[in-house]
Amino acid sequence: MTGRRPRVVVLDYGSGNLRSAQRALLRAGADAEVTTDFDAALNADGLVVPGVGAFAACMAGLQEVRGDQVIDRRLAGSRPVLGICVGMQVLFTEGVEHGVHTKGCGQWPGTVERLHAQVLPHMGWNTVQAPAGTVLLAGIGSAERFYFVHSYAARSLPLEVSGHMRVPLLAWATHGEPFIATVESGPLCATQFHPEKSGDAGAALLSNWLETLR
């Protein structure tokens, strides 16, 4: 794929900052389209799964366009997927909101729950503690800030995973308590923050991800 722009689909399932994600990917060097089309999402070089709002609503929308199936099929073939915000959360086993348990895509073990913090939502800029060996955050200084808007997060991810996954690399942020800010696990990556709203740091992260598609 060297010498051409990677083809990226931003999955349209009724949730997320679709056009802002598309514009950010275009600026970062991708050919990016927003679509609900199953085959386009399956065959693109990269798939971006955005998400804004409630876990249960996002899962319902995702299932309606068979997004959970396309994610599973892509990962079975080691085809890259990037989840953003609630698009990251739905990759876990389940989400719990107001006492209601909703089954997620189950790509990672773990539960997404309400943060223990005095002020929610966690809205605004925050730093991220990157792991050694990170690809997503490579070259991005530790003082750089990313833009978050959420009240729920995953607080743990068991390190023993199998199948198409590798042991995940986790970046952490803190709002009231530590939570997972990014996950890098073979072809499946995700960010709790919004790279498309995170200025130069977010653009650098998207460029890093696009490099993995080449």
Q: Which of the residues are catalytic?
A: 85, 194, 196
C-beta separation of 25 from 206 below 8 A: yes
Q: At what angle do helices 18-28 and 199-211 cross, to 10 degrees?
A: 70
> 179 vs 61, 112, 143, 155, 156, CA distance in Å?
25, 10, 18, 5, 7
31-35: strand order across its sheet: 31-35, 7-11, 46-49, 81-84, 188-191, 177-185, 169-175
> 122 vs 25, 90, 214, CA distance in Å?
25, 18, 34
C-beta separation of 84 from 49 below 8 A: yes
CA 205 to CA 207: how far, in whole Å? 5
**Cα dihedral across residues 186, 14, 63, 181: positive or negative:** positive
CA dihedral angle for residue 60, residue 62, residue 67, residue 69, rounded to 10 degrees: -20
**Cα dihedral across residues 74, 75, 80, 83: positive or negative:** positive
